[in-house]
Amino acid sequence: MLEIFEKNKDELVEIYGELVKNKAINLNNINEETLKEKSSNLQKEEFILAVAGQIKAGKSTLLNALIFGNDILPSDDTPYTAKITEIRYGNDEKLKAIFYTKDEWQELKNEITEIDDKKVNYFKNFIEPDIKNSSYIKFLNQTKEDDISNLKEYVAKGGVYTPFVKRVEIYYPAEILKSLVVVDTPGTNDPNIFRSKITLDWIKRCDAAIYATYAGRAFDESDIKFINEYLLSLENSKRIVAINKIDVLENFDEAKELLENNKKNETYQKTVFNEASSFVFTAGLYALLDEKEKNGFLLNKDELWYKDEANPEFWQNNGLNELKNLVSNKIIQNKGKDLLVSHINFIKNAFEKKEVFLNTEINALETKISQNQKSKDEINKALDEVTNFRIKLTRMQENFKNNIADNLAQKIKNLNKDIDKNFGSIKDELVSKMEIYSSITNLKNNVIWDIKNALEGKKLAIDDLVSKAMEDIKQYTKNETEEFINEMSKFEAFDSESLRQTLRYDTFDIYRDFSKFFDAGFININILEDIAWDNSNFFKWLVGQGISSYKVKVRNFTTEKVDESKEELQKKILENIDKFRTRLSDQVEKSSLNITDNLDNNLKNIKEKGSLNEKELNELITDVNKNKNSINNFKEIKENFIKKLENMEGEIYGK
């Protein structure tokens, strides 16, 4: 999938380059600068893959296999020295260390953290003992580049710079990194407040996340704690769980049995095992050794021993290719597809708008020719028609505004009813689930995940519901605009096709912007972050109350939060429909008045100065023919580009 994305991205960049040269879609706000900027933005787009997991889950080994095919990231058995590591594409292998600021360093000195239920000074216990050279404090507030072979000195226990480093960036010429930033986060239960904040920020921004759990103790308390704290606000569809080090098990049957047994755990069913999450069994060490040999690296004595002792079943099925495919699919599914389609639609819309503009120009010339071929009596009659039409125009414009306002108000009302119904079923489902919980602990541990899963479960259905309503609104307003054109066309002075093309061109961007806004999803899953914060404080307020009181309060809390999500959605929809309605009504009013004024002025000009002579008319006719030839050439160019874009869409959607 990533290969297809890269191929299509390169083709789009090439298309932008061709359009810059041939200027085929240049028009108003689309020019060479615009197209170069679009191309540049596309090339800069990057996907984010966050990787997390407990210490000793083999996360670093798995990443070495996935990204480098060699030993680059050092493994470490303590969470207190681990660093946030950003892995990016670079032509040359290098690292860049970002040190703590002086303010952060001071804050670390004062930080009290809780380790194994004991409050300890983080700095004195986990940073100060590792400081080998206090003079390196001079690096605070700075960054430092170095050879990648010295990475251990910045991230591993015993590294001379390790205590002072907040995060590290690695640049490496791996194909997979061309559109992918991989963020290796510290192990779970990291007590460092700065790394913890950075980890959460990356996970919120990521397009896919791998969580590595050790097969020997998969989904233990630390796993669940991390998932609850860091993955709650991440959509389930973005999550990949890698059950790593399966080589510690006897065989694949034992691995499958492990997974099935964990799926039966009620706690895990909400937090880990849901329909949208993906799972893969991996033997990270075997995968790395296999990749090293494929890349021509010699295995050392210990590595050769591991290879000789390896279970052939796990060696051959180390899960690396499956993991790569899952990462690819998640990334394309969650961002890549929409990204490419947005650029395809931009180019398609630009061609469409340019064609409408060219037709408008031809119609304007043909109208001018037609007007200049009228007799004096016909000119006077047309002027009288325009005068009479002006009286009617104001009423027509008011009717257009009122009809659209009334109809859209009804459509919003109907849509809100459907949204109320969907969110009502979410609340019913959640309230019903609450009755099952017999203890306060179960209620506390499950209510947030119940809300998350219920919202995500309805997300696609609600997105589809809103999208259909938006399409209905677009079709209705286009029909109303056509009716408006037909009313104007009843006056012979107006040419219906010229009216149609002009109004289509004038309202093109309004419909485009309306469609662009509603291309996005509608339920704000990020509300879960607020819910999680409220929830932690909420339960503090309920200390000492019994299960019945808890259930009543939690029921009210839950329905309130679901209602907030619903109201946010309805407000967002209303604001954008109102904006669309106002823009469309104002533009139709403005365009119809401009058309009328232009016609009036042209006819008066002909009446006062006389019609164009034969030579001038022939020049206009020549211009029309030139423009028709131009539009025919344009259509050929458009057809070739649209064919390329549609082939691209076929690949993207797998048709």
For the chain, which residues make up each domain, given as ranges? 1-44+336-373+621-655, 45-318, 390-610
What digits encode the pLDDT tens for the residues 19-57? 999 999 998 888 999 999 999 999 888 889 999 887 788
Between 551 and 412, where is the model more confident? 412
**What is the percentage of the chain residues whose pLDDT exceeds 90?**
47
Q: What is the mean pLDDT of the segment spanning 363-392?
A: 92
Among candidate residues 110, 101, 94, 95, the one with its CA nearest the CA of residue 139: 101
Task: Give start and end residues of each alpha helix (H) in 373-439.
Answer: 376-434
**pLDDT confidence of residue 81:** 47
pLDDT in tens, 97-124: 999 898 888 887 876 665 556 666 667 7
Neighbours of 234 (CB within 10 A): 21
pLDDT digits (tens, 9 = 90+) for 483-522: 999 999 999 889 888 999 999 999 999 999 998 776 555 5
Amino acid identity of residue 325, one-letter, is N
Q: Note the pLDDT of residue 654.
A: 75
Tens of pLDDT, residue by residue over 398-457, are 999 999 999 999 999 999 999 999 999 988 988 888 888 777 777 777 777 887 788 888
CATH topology of domain 45-318: Rossmann fold (3.40.50)
Residue 510, SS3 per DSSP = helix
- In the chain the first and final C-alpha atoms are separated, in Å, by 14
Which 3 state secondary structure label does DSSP give 109? helix
Of 76 and 379, the one with more pLDDT: 379
Q: How far apart are CA 278 and CA 332, in angstroms?
A: 15
pLDDT (average), residues 471-488 = 95
What pLDDT sits at residue 509? 92
390-610 CATH fold: Four Helix Bundle (Hemerythrin (Met), subunit A) (1.20.120)
Q: Tell me the H-state helices in 206-311.
A: 221-230, 252-263, 266-271, 284-294, 301-309
Q: What pTM was computed for the model?
A: 0.79
pLDDT at residue number 125: 67
Q: How far is CA 244 from the centre of its chain?
A: 29
The residue ranking higher by pLDDT, 138 or 264, is: 138
For residues 647 and 227, give the distance between their C-alpha atoms in angstroms, rounded to a whole number: 40
DSSP letter assigned to residue 137: G
Token pair, residue 637, equals 């160019």
Q: Is residue 258 over pLDDT 90?
A: no
With beta carbons less than 8 A apart as the criterion, state whether 255 and 281 touch.
Answer: yes
Long-range contacts of 331-335 (CB under 8 A, 24+ apart): 331/1, 331/2, 331/5, 331/47, 331/49, 331/180, 331/207, 331/208, 332/1, 332/2, 332/4, 332/5, 333/237, 334/207, 334/208, 334/235, 334/237, 334/238, 335/47, 335/207
Q: Annotate 68-83 with DSSP letters as a single string.
A: ISSS-SPP-S-TTS--
Does pLDDT of 357 surpass 90?
A: yes
pLDDT tens-digit readout, 592-646: 999 999 999 999 999 988 888 999 999 999 999 999 999 999 999 999 999 999 9
pLDDT for res 533: 46
Q: What string of H, E and C letters represents the secondary structure of 176-232?
A: HHHCEEEEECCCCCCCCHHHHHHHHHHHHHCCEEEEEEEHHHCCCHHHHHHHHHHCC
* Closest among 549, 554, 565, 566 to 445, alpha carbons compared: 554
Which phi and psi (to 5°) does residue 89 adopt?
Answer: -75, 140
Q: What is the mean pLDDT of residues 54-69?
A: 90
Secondary element (H or E) of residue 541: helix 527-541
Q: Quick one: pLDDT at residue 414?
A: 96
Binned at pLDDT 50, 70 and 90, residue 79 comes out as low
